[in-house]
Structure 1
Amino acid sequence: MSEQNPPGLDLARLATHLERERPGLVRGPLRAEVVHGGRSNLTYRVTDGTGRWVVRRPPLGHVLATAHDMAREHRVISALRSTPVPVPETVLLCEDPDVLGAPFYVMEHVEGTPYRTAAQLAPLGPERTREIVLALPGTLAALHEVDPQDVGLGDFGRPEGFLERQLRRWTKQLEASRSRDLPGIDALRDALGSTLPDSPRPTVVHGDYRLDNVLVDADDRITAVLDWEMSTLGDPLTDLGLLAMYSERQDVPDSPVSTTSGAPGHPSAGELVERYARLSGRDVSRINWYTAFAYFKLAVILEGIHYRFTLGRTVGAGFDRIGELVPVFIDNGLTTVRKG
């Protein structure tokens, strides 16, 4: 860890704020490091040599200097702390952008590893890999079992018309980054729109539930579900469809999109869906629609990244190959939605 300020985190100002709001919490000079691998919000590990915490804030250059995203993440994690869903304990929320340049919150540091790739899982062996991944549906079912009203999240979203709004949202996102011909993507969107399922009872939805958004300890237990920035109230099967999509083998050698599905022992998408159905009691007969929608969503996200790459607005390696992945996800989505 560095004693110098990582980008976006002034350690002296953070220490001053923590001392004012939580006297005695910090017992020495702070050091910090950036945690890589999240979606967009920045994550830092912070320590005073004794205690350890995690700080979350919006990305640098965030144009909306509001506490919206941070407050929502802090709220949902705090609400779920009293439930069977494993989440870190929150320490404080700061909605004043003058402290660090943006709103932020602090939570406890939880031990565990976020497995992001098949290569990371491979040394564990097939049996451990299988047990770790098979724990995902159980934790997801536990989340979807939480009554939002009981934990103070009854107004956390607008579940009525959730799937229609989601489809409109991602279609709008597609149009904002459409810069080339994408055969099949309009057909995929239309097929999704004409076969919308009837949503089950709304629940708290994580929005990006997959293996690399949970921490797993040395005993192969899920110790925390992370990255709640897309959470809301809505159709729980959107979480399951995304998990299924990420668990299917993608025929793309050396894909720049990380996935764990190729690890020896990794359960199939069908096994994960079946386990969720058994544990939750929900009807999953329309899971192909939800999985196809996940493919559509990821195709739109990847096309947006490709568009920014063509404009010279991406930094780092691998962005030059993102564009070739989009047709693969479109084709997979079409194949899946046509299964009914």
Structure 2
Amino acid sequence: MTASRCWGSEAMAVDNVIVAPETRSLDGLVAALTPWLAAHMPEARGLRIENPSYPFGAGQSHETILFDACWSEGGKAVRQGCVVRVKPMRHTVFPDDLFEQQYRVMDVLHGHGIRVAKPLWIEHDPAVLGAPFFIMERVEGRVAVSIPPYAEGGWVAEATPAQRRRMWEDGVRHLASLQSVPLADFQFLAGPKGVRDGLAQEWDKYVRFVQWISADREWPVLHAALDRLKGLWPANQPAGLVWGDARLGNLMFDANFDVVAIMDWEQPSLGGALQDLGWWLTLSEQMHGANADRPHLEGMGTRSETIALWEDLTGLSAQDVEWYEDFTQLKHSCLGIRLAGLKGRPLPDEAWLAQRLKVA
């Protein structure tokens, strides 16, 4: 889906495909951003921006640009890796605009010691770069990219089973760690009256998503899937923060296969802890599972191992997680339809969707 990347140089070496929704003159970006950044860093002398570049292999929803900020301070030379993330104004993947909220979520999480890139500044005025944007510190590490799929080549595919085991376990530990932060700190994520939090909030989001993409073409299969899920409504609805794109490809790892950053916070909610577990299980199966249409990655934990470790770490029950996995399939179907329309690609086949959504 997405990739708001706090990328490192190793991540870029994996692939050479830029998938940003829009690109611009990087010289123009430097010219516009340098005086803005200098105004926000009054102690910096001779500030300049170097090495601007787009990340490779992911970043389909937001324009994301890497750069180095260089200056002198107190007589010492300073170099800071940064990432600027620009709000999408035309190629919007989601019906909900949560650009400011993703910045605030990262700020809260960083304050609680969760491994996210440190947010630095947010600019709401579109005059600087043509749209609002925020800047965060750049974290160095490696990303399991989606394009091409990490199971088919690159550092993940080339790792040993023991290294992948360490990667999987630390990934699940960091997924679980998100549920340790008090929900009271995220009340700015509350939805409208009647669907302020919990499953009701996340359900409302995707009911509206179906309506949004149905404005151009009706999708009876999506409505049938909503009816099916509603009829199987889960009893287990633990409260919790929703990351929104909980998958291996949205974690950054160091050379020891340990997580150094959790990324992609563009669709957070208070929709409940099982939303992310269901998403993680579904994407793991699609990307590297035993039944995936690509090489199986020995060493990655199985579905049952992931559930058991997550339950142990969070103290929560994963009962009814199958429902959340089916809900994830609906979410991904909405995203697939929207991205295909934005990119001018063929829309998903309805018969295939019906099978995927269990309404065939």
Query: How far is the alpha carbon of 1:249 from its aligned partner?
Result: 4.4
8 Å CA contact 1:141, 1:280 repeated in 2: yes
Q: CA distance change for structure 1 residues 113 and 270 in 2, over 3 Å: closer, same or farther?
A: same
Amino acid of the structure 1 residue aligned with 2:268:
S
Amino acid of the structure 1 residue aligned with 2:177:
A
Residue 226 of structure 1: which of 263, 266, 287 is its match?
Answer: 263
Query: How far is the alpha carbon of 1:330 from its aligned partner?
Result: 4.2
Deviations 1:207-241 (A, max 9, x none): 11111111111121111111111012221111110
Q: Distance in 2 between matches of 1:137 and 1:128?
A: 14
| Correspondences of 1:181-196 after superposition (within 5 Å) | 185-196=222-233
8 Å CA contact 2:119, 2:136 repeated in 1: yes
Q: CA distance change for structure 1 residues 16 and 299 in 2, over 3 Å: closer, same or farther?
A: same
| Correspondences of 1:198-217 after superposition (within 5 Å) | 198=235, 200-217=237-254
8 Å CA contact 1:58, 1:102 repeated in 2: yes
The alignment status of 1:165 with 2:199, answered yes or no, reads no
| Correspondences of 1:66-81 after superposition (within 5 Å) | 69-81=98-110
Residue 175 of structure 2: which of 140, 144, 157 is its match?
Answer: 140
Q: Distance in 2 between matches of 1:56 and 1:229?
A: 11
The alignment's TM-score, normalised by the length of structure 1, stands at: 0.81
Residue 160 of structure 2: which of 125, 128, 132 is its match?
Answer: 125
Q: Give the equivalent residue in structure 2 for 1:258.
A: none
Q: Give the equivalent residue in structure 2 for 1:33.
A: 53
Residue 116 of structure 2: which of 82, 87, 105 is its match?
Answer: 87
8 Å CA contact 2:236, 2:320 repeated in 1: no
Percent identity reads 24
Q: Give the equivalent residue in structure 2 for 1:153.
A: 186
Q: CA distance change for structure 1 residues 277 and 163 in 2, over 3 Å: closer, same or farther?
A: same
Deviations 1:118-140 (A, max 9, x none): 12311112221122122222112
8 Å CA contact 1:203, 1:234 repeated in 2: yes
Q: Secondary structure at the match of 1:203?
A: coil
Q: Distance in 2 between matches of 1:299 and 1:170?
A: 10
8 Å CA contact 1:26, 1:51 repeated in 2: no
Q: Distance in 1 between matches of 2:356 and 2:86?
A: 34
8 Å CA contact 2:101, 2:188 repeated in 1: no
Deviations 1:96-137 (A, max 9, x none): 111111111111110111102212311112221122122222
Q: Secondary structure at the match of 2:343?
A: coil
8 Å CA contact 2:285, 2:292 repeated in 1: no
Q: Give the equivalent residue in structure 2 for 1:274.
A: 308
Residue 214 of structure 2: which of 171, 175, 183 is its match?
Answer: 175
Amino acid of the structure 2 residue aligned with 1:159:
D
Amino acid of the structure 2 residue aligned with 1:176:
A
Q: Secondary structure at the match of 1:215?
A: strand
Q: Secondary structure at the match of 1:52?
A: strand
Q: Give the equivalent residue in structure 2 for 1:323.
A: 348
Amino acid of the structure 1 residue aligned with 2:102:
E
The alignment status of 1:334 with 2:358, answered yes or no, reads yes
Q: Secondary structure at the match of 2:122?
A: strand
Q: Distance in 2 between matches of 1:74 and 1:8?
A: 26
Q: Distance in 2 between matches of 1:30 and 1:278?
A: 45
Amino acid of the structure 1 residue aligned with 2:41:
R
Q: CA distance change for structure 1 residues 107 and 234 in 2, over 3 Å: closer, same or farther?
A: same
The alignment status of 1:290 with 2:324, answered yes or no, reads yes
Query: How far is the alpha carbon of 1:156 from its aligned partner?
Result: 1.9
Amino acid of the structure 2 residue aligned with 1:77:
M
Deviations 1:269-288 (A, max 9, x none): 22212211111111111000
Q: Distance in 1 between matches of 2:231 and 2:130?
A: 45
The alignment's TM-score, normalised by the length of structure 2, stands at: 0.76
Q: Distance in 1 between matches of 2:27 and 2:251?
A: 24
Q: Distance in 2 between matches of 1:166 and 1:12?
A: 38
Q: CA distance change for structure 1 residues 109 and 27 in 2, over 3 Å: closer, same or farther?
A: farther
Amino acid of the structure 2 residue aligned with 1:41:
H
In structure 1, list runs of 5 or more residues that go unmatched.
255-260
Q: CA distance change for structure 1 residues 295 and 19 in 2, over 3 Å: closer, same or farther?
A: same
Q: Distance in 1 between matches of 2:266 and 2:27?
A: 18
